[in-house]
Structure 1
Amino acid sequence: MSGGLAGKLAAQIAQGGPLTVAQFMTACLHDPEYGYYATRPALGEGGDFVTAPLVSQMFGELIGAWAAVAWEAMGRPDPFRLVEMGPGDGTLMSDVLRTVRMAPGFREAADVWLVETSPPLRALQRGRLGDGVRWAASLAEVPGGAPMILVANELLDCLPVRQFVRTAAGWAEQVVGLDAEGRLAFGLAATPAGTLLPDAREGVVYEQSAAQAALGAELGARIVRDGGAALLIDYGRDRPGFGDTLQAMLRHRKVDPLAHAGEADLTVHADFPAVMEAARAEGAGTAILTQAQFLARLGIGERAEALVRARPDKAPVIGRQLNRLMAADQMGDLFKACCIHSPGWTPPAFEEADA
C-alpha cells in the first residue's frame, strides 16, 4: 500500500475495521494532513471542477439581486447577517457585493460572514474580498440575534453520506475495507440496528446523509428564531429516490474515488427532500425550483441580452455561458435552488413553489 491518505486509511482500517462511506468522504475531504479541501482544493478551468459562479458573472449577479430583493421584502433589517457557506475562492460573494451596491442601505446594514474550514480557500477568499468580511468555521460561530440571508452554492454535495445496498438477505451497508493485497476496496457490512430504510428491490443503493439533514435542521431553527432566508443551490434530487451518486473529480474527469483518496474532489447528490423535511420540522418554510427556473425568474435572459448589447464581440461566449447554466442537459435541470425561509412570507422567485 502506498503512502499518503490511502496508506493512512489502510492502516486505520487494518487496526479498527472498515469505514463507512461517510467516514471515508470526511477523511478524503478534510483530513488535516492529506484531505482535499484541507490541502489542495483546485477550482476553475485549470483545476478539478468548475462551479456556476466561475461559469459566468451573471450567476453571482442574480444571486446578489435576489439577496437585495429578499432584504427589501424582510423590511430592510439593520443589521442583518449576510452569510455564505462553502464560499470557494470568493467569486460568488465578490459578485454579490458588487451587485448589492445598487440597493441603497444594503451594504451598510450587512454583517458579512464566510463559513469556511479550508485554510487554502480562506487565503483565496481574503485575497479577493479583503477585510470587509469575517470568517467562521461553522454556522454556529456566526452571531445570532439578527435576521440572516444565507447562500450556499455546491455545499450540500460535499457533506458525507452513508450508503446501503439491498441484497437478497435485506439491507447491508456499503463500507470501505481492504482487499487481499491491502488496497482500499468496497465491501458490505451488517446494517446497524435501528437504521430506518425504505422498501426497495434487490441491487438498489440508498444514500442517507445525517449531515445534510442536520444542516437543514440548523438552518430551519435559526431562521425561525431570527428571521430570514437561506438559498441552497446544488445538483441533486428534489424527490426521494435511490442510486449510487458518489463520484470523484480530478482535472475535470470522473475517477475512481478509492484510487485517488485525498487527491480528488469527492461529492454526492444533494438530498433536498431530507434537507427540507428537517427544516420544516423546525417550523421553517421551504420551496424548491430547478436552477433554470430560478435564474429565469430572476431575469437571466434579460441580463444576458444586456451584456451582449454592451459587448457584441462577447456574444458567443455569453451564449455558451447561458447554455451551461440553463440547458436541461447542462446545469439547468440537474441543479436545484432550494429556499428555507421564515414562516409567513415567500422569498422572491419562489412564489408558488413552496413545498
Structure 2
Amino acid sequence: MLALWRRTALRAPRLAPRTVLWTPRGGLHTPPSAGPGSEELTPLTKHIRDMILATGPITVARYMQLALTSPVGGYYTRGQAFGREGDFVTSPEISQMFGEVLAVWYVMHWEQLGRPERTVFVELGPGRGTLMDDMLRAARRFPAFFATVRGVHLVERSPELRRVQHDRLGCDAKQTRMEADGGAQPVPAQGVSESRGGVAVHWHDLLDSIDLGSSGCVPLVVAHEFFDALPVHKFEKGADGLWHEILVDVAESGSAPVAASGTVRFAGSPPPQPAQGACHFKFVRTRSVTPGAALLLRDKRFDAQFSSGDLVEVSPESARVMVQLADWITRCNGLGLVVDYGQDWTQGDTLRGIKSHRFANPLSSPGSMDLTADVDFSYLRHVAQGRAACHGPVEQGAFLHAMGIQARLEQLLRSARDHAMQKTLVDCYRRLTDPHSMGRVYKVLAVLPSGSTLVPAPFAPQTTADGAAR
C-alpha cells in the first residue's frame, strides 16, 4: 500500500474545515409546534400543507421527497448545501485525502480484475463534485489506469448542483452541451473536464439512464452520502402485533416556535447559534394497517426481531437503487463502493434535519434544511443478495487506515508550509478516522459482480453460518 502512495505526486494540501384513519403520535420526537397560520408560509410549506388538507396525511417518504427535491423549493434545488458556508460538511469537503484513498482503492482492484482496457467512473449524488475531482486528480498519477478511463457519469437531478459540478471539474463551457430543465437556465448534460485530462463528463437524472451499450466499459461506481437522503417510510408495531404507518399531518396552531436540538460540528468551527423556527407539521399514526406496511414489512424478520412499540424505518427507494446497482455491476463486471453513515441493522427513529451545521426539527420549514436518515446496510445487502456480491460494511476509519491514509498524511505533512497547516491536516485526518467522530458511524460497503471470488481490500472473506469461508 505504501508503494502505491509513493507513486503519487505531492501536492499542496487543500484545507477545508440528509384512505386510512390516523391518531396523533406523541413518541416520535415531535416537538410543540407553531401552527400553519402563525407565520407567512414558504411556497413549499404551503404546497405540502394544501396537499395534506385536500387529501389527508402523507407518508414520511413523500414528505422527504417533496422537502428535498420539489421544484417548488426543494432543498437540493438550491445547490449550496455543502461546506462551511452551507448546512453540513461531507468527508470530501474535509480533506482531499478521502477522495485520494478511494481512487487508490479503484486502481488496486482494477489491477486485480486483470486491467480491463475501458473503464468509466460513476458517482451517485456527487454533491459539489469535490470527491470526483479528487479521485480524477489522484487517478492521473497512475497513467496505465487513467488511460482506460473513457468518461465520468454523474447521477444528479439538481440543476444548481450540476452547474457547481461543471465548474468544479473544470469543464470548458465552449465544449459543454446544455439541456433545458424547465427552469430559467439550461443545465449541463455533457462536457469535457479540461483540468482533469480531457475526460468526458456526462450528467444523468437517474442511474438507469446511463447506457454503456456495447462499449465494454467497466463501471467504477461510488455512492457517498447518497442513500441517507433517500426517502424512508416509518412504522410502529402496535399492541395488536400489526405494523402501523407513521404519517405527516398539518400541525395545530397556537404553540410557540421551538429551538433545534443537538449540533453537527466540524474541526475548528465556532459553536453555531441556536436555530429557531415554527414546526408546521406533526407525526400521526394510522389506526389500521396501510398497504405500505403490508408490502414493505412482509418479511418475517420484522416480526421476529421487533416487539410492540418498536419503530422501524424502511426505504423502498434505497432497495430499488441498490437492485439496479447490483444488477448493473454484475452485468458489466464492475466495482462499487457505498460510503454512508448508518448501522448494519434496521433502526427506528433516525430521521433528522440538518441546518447551519446543527440538528433541526425535520417537520419545520421543509426545503430549508437537509433531511436524512441512517442507512440500514443489512437492508442493502438483503435486497442485493443473489444479484451481486456484497462485502462489509466496515467502519470508515478502519477502511481508510487499511488503504494507507496515514502514509498520505505523512506526505502532505512534509509538503505543508507551516505548523498551522500541519495541525489542520492532522485535525482533518482525525475527524475522518476517529471512532468518536466519523470513523465509526460512517461505513463502507463494497459491491462486486455476483459469483466473484475476489475479496476486496480491506474486507475479510465472507463466511457461512458455520464459520466456513466462502
TM-score range normalised by the length of the shorter chain: over 0.9
- Shift, 1:223, TM fit: 1.2
Question: Aligned equivalents of 1:124 and 1:339: distance in 2?
Answer: 28
Q: In the TM superposition, what whole-angstrom CA distance separates every residue of 1:246-276 from its partner, at most 9, and x where no partner exists?
A: 0100100111111121110000011111111
The structure that has the greater radius of gyration is 2
Q: Which runs of 4+ in 1 moved over 4 A?
A: none
In the alignment, structure 1 residue 96 sits paired with structure 2 residue 140: no
Amino acid at match of 1:128: R
Contact 2:127–2:165 at 8 Å: present in 1 too?
Answer: yes
The equivalences for 1:188-199 within 5 A come to: 188-189=285-286, 190-193=288-291, 194-195=294-295, 196=297, 198-199=302-303
The alpha-carbon distance between structure 1 residues 350 and 214, as it changes in their structure 2 partners (threshold 3 A), is farther
Q: Report the aligned-residue RMSD.
A: 1.8
Map of 2:160 onto structure 1: 120
Map of 1:321 onto structure 2: 428
Q: Which moved more, 1:211-220 or 1:20-29?
A: 211-220
Contact 1:284–1:340 at 8 Å: present in 2 too?
Answer: yes
Question: Aligned equivalents of 1:151 and 1:88: distance in 2?
Answer: 12
Question: Aligned equivalents of 1:209 and 1:119: distance in 2?
Answer: 25
Question: Aligned equivalents of 2:407 and 2:144: distance in 1?
Answer: 25
In the alignment, structure 1 residue 232 sits paired with structure 2 residue 232: no
- Shift, 1:315, TM fit: 2.0
Question: Aligned equivalents of 1:114 and 1:124: distance in 2?
Answer: 12
Map of 2:313 onto structure 1: 207
What is the aligned residue count?
354
Runs (5+) with no aligned partner, structure 2: 1-35, 172-191, 194-200, 255-279, 464-470
SS at match of 1:66: helix
- Shift, 1:322, TM fit: 1.1
- Shift, 1:191, TM fit: 2.9
Amino acid at match of 1:120: E
In the alignment, structure 1 residue 147 sits paired with structure 2 residue 147: no
Q: Which moved more, 1:165-174 or 1:111-120?
A: 165-174
Map of 1:346 onto structure 2: 454
Contact 2:394–2:459 at 8 Å: present in 1 too?
Answer: no
In the alignment, structure 1 residue 137 sits paired with structure 2 residue 137: no
Amino acid at match of 1:173: E
Contact 1:67–1:149 at 8 Å: present in 2 too?
Answer: yes
Map of 1:159 onto structure 2: 230
Amino acid at match of 2:208: A
Runs (5+) with no aligned partner, structure 1: none
Map of 1:168 onto structure 2: 239
Question: Aligned equivalents of 1:231 and 1:283: distance in 2?
Answer: 13
SS at match of 1:105: helix
Question: Aligned equivalents of 2:381 and 2:125: distance in 1?
Answer: 19
Amino acid at match of 2:326: G
- Shift, 1:181, TM fit: 3.3
Map of 1:31 onto structure 2: 70
Q: In the TM superposition, what whole-angstrom CA distance separates every residue of 1:159-209 from its partner, at most 9, and x where no partner exists?
A: 111000123334211100123439421101133243326132333210111
Contact 2:389–2:452 at 8 Å: present in 1 too?
Answer: no
Contact 1:148–1:228 at 8 Å: present in 2 too?
Answer: yes
Question: Aligned equivalents of 1:347 and 1:41: distance in 2?
Answer: 38
Q: Which moved more, 1:7-16 or 1:75-84?
A: 75-84
**2:281 pairs with 184, 189, 194, which one?**
184
TM-score by length of 1: 0.95
Question: Aligned equivalents of 2:375 and 2:318: distance in 1?
Answer: 8
Contact 1:288–1:350 at 8 Å: present in 2 too?
Answer: no
Contact 1:74–1:228 at 8 Å: present in 2 too?
Answer: no
Question: Aligned equivalents of 2:384 and 2:98: distance in 1?
Answer: 25
Question: Aligned equivalents of 2:249 and 2:116: distance in 1?
Answer: 52
Question: Aligned equivalents of 2:334 and 2:204: distance in 1?
Answer: 19
Contact 1:279–1:286 at 8 Å: present in 2 too?
Answer: no
The structure that is helix-richer by fraction is 1
Contact 1:287–1:353 at 8 Å: present in 2 too?
Answer: no
- Shift, 1:318, TM fit: 1.2
In the alignment, structure 1 residue 284 sits paired with structure 2 residue 389: yes
Q: In the TM superposition, what whole-angstrom CA distance separates every residue of 1:126-150 from its partner, at most 9, and x where no partner exists?
A: 0011123111111112123432110
Question: Aligned equivalents of 1:52 and 1:73: distance in 2?
Answer: 27
Map of 2:262 onto structure 1: none
Contact 1:279–1:340 at 8 Å: present in 2 too?
Answer: no
Amino acid at match of 1:191: V
Give the percent of matched residue pairs that are identical in Structure 1 and Structure 2.
35
SS at match of 1:175: strand
Map of 2:410 onto structure 1: 305
Map of 1:3 onto structure 2: 42
SS at match of 1:284: strand
Q: Which moved more, 1:139-148 or 1:157-166?
A: 139-148
Q: Which moved more, 1:196-205 or 1:216-225?
A: 196-205
**1:251 pairs with 341, 356, 363, which one?**
356
SS at match of 1:352: coil
Contact 2:326–2:447 at 8 Å: present in 1 too?
Answer: yes
Q: In the TM superposition, what whole-angstrom CA distance separates every residue of 1:208-232 from its partner, at most 9, and x where no partner exists?
A: 1111111221111111111011101
